[in-house]
Amino acid sequence: MGHSMGDLDLFNPTPEHRALRQTVRAFAEREVEPQALASDRSEHFNLPLFRKLGELGLLGITVDERFGGAGMDAVAAVIAHEELAAVDPGFTLAYLAHAMLFVNNVFLNASDEQRERYLPDACAGRTVCGMCMSEPGAGTDVLGLATTAERRGDGYVLNGAKMWITNGAVDDQTLGDAFLVYARMKGAPRAQLTSFLVDKGTPGFSLGQRLKDKLGMRASSTAELVFEDCEVSERQRVGPEGGATLHMMRNLEIERVTLAAMSLGIARRSLDVMNRYARERTSFGEPLAHFGQVQRHLAESYAEWMAGRSYTYQTAAQIDLGSAGHRLDSDGVKLFCATMAKNVADRAIQVLGGYGYVGEYVVERLWRDAKLLEIGGGTLEAHHKNMTRELGHVQTLR
């Protein structure tokens, strides 16, 4: 679908990007696809498969090679997420939470000592990691979080709960291995957050509940994590006290662009399934693709997918992972692509009719998974608010 994988273009700007796409697509089709439906049905996070992403160099895709990473850019991250999400968005979400929310964040913001302590294992897949931002009472209003950090001796004590944490649990009883946790120093202003690296096994850090029966993204685990007088040392703090708000905002850009990339994978797969079915299935003696109603579903889906794809790759090409400054478009690509993917998957179900409604044809799972992208990593409403604010700083649109 679209440009051939052999072309160098907006979507494969260098031979390295093209080779990455070929590698990830082959891995996705060979290793990820066969387990996707069963993992969705059982709400099972496939840990052995996740570790294979480490062998491929994908878990540290944006990390310097000296810490075990692949040393690639935001476009490479987009390629990996697009290709994996075309077969299993739930598994891809677990990958994103580890590789973007934890690994990329630690690489950009932590000290060399912290990087050396956490990144080699995380890049190799020996650990499963995540990031703790959302809370039971603070999602979109992230600066309203209630988790506190209090100085005690030469360390800190954390208290609070985090909710909707991807990779929070590896299975029903087992915490993930390490987390980047956002908290507010007691008495600190609303806009000043501090982050800490917290390991599984730290006293006072526990798994509240693993959240089951999700609409979609069931192949990734989602959990509540609880901090009760959880003591961490000063060497677990990332950056200065109050300095994590900037880290968070900077990392949100690559998070949103890679979530948009997941939407692209969902849309492409849905379009492929719909296109093939419309040509093979006949009704009233003619292929479905000869009927105007179906032609509209196919044509609009392709145009919207390519529009979102072009916007996402252009935005990714402009992102310097070490700095912020693309808030308008990192929000914009996710705003557009999340709803686009849901709509394309919806049209695919419509074209397939009863077959689209059952798991065997994949599109019902993609449709369920797509809905999360309108909520997680920033709701559509949050993107509207952020983009309107950013547009207030723009004198004229180029």
Helix, strand, or coil here: 382?
Answer: helix
Any idea which residues carry the catalytic annotation? 255
To 10 degrees, what angle do helices 89-96 and 74-85 make?
Answer: 150
Distance between CA 282 and CA 5 in Å, rounded? 31
Distance between CA 128 and CA 259 in Å, rounded? 19
Task: Look up tokens 């996707």; give the residue.
Answer: 36
To 10 degrees, what angle do helices 327-352 and 244-280 make?
Answer: 30
| Number of other residues whose CB lies within 10 A of the CB of residue 226 | 17
Task: Look up tokens 């790759």; give the residue.
Answer: 313
Checking DSSP bridges between strand 148-152 and strand 155-166, what pairing results, if any? antiparallel
DSSP secondary structure string, 240-267? STT-HHHHHHHHHHHHHHHHHHHHHHHH
29 touches 21 (CB < 8 A): no
63 touches 69 (CB < 8 A): yes
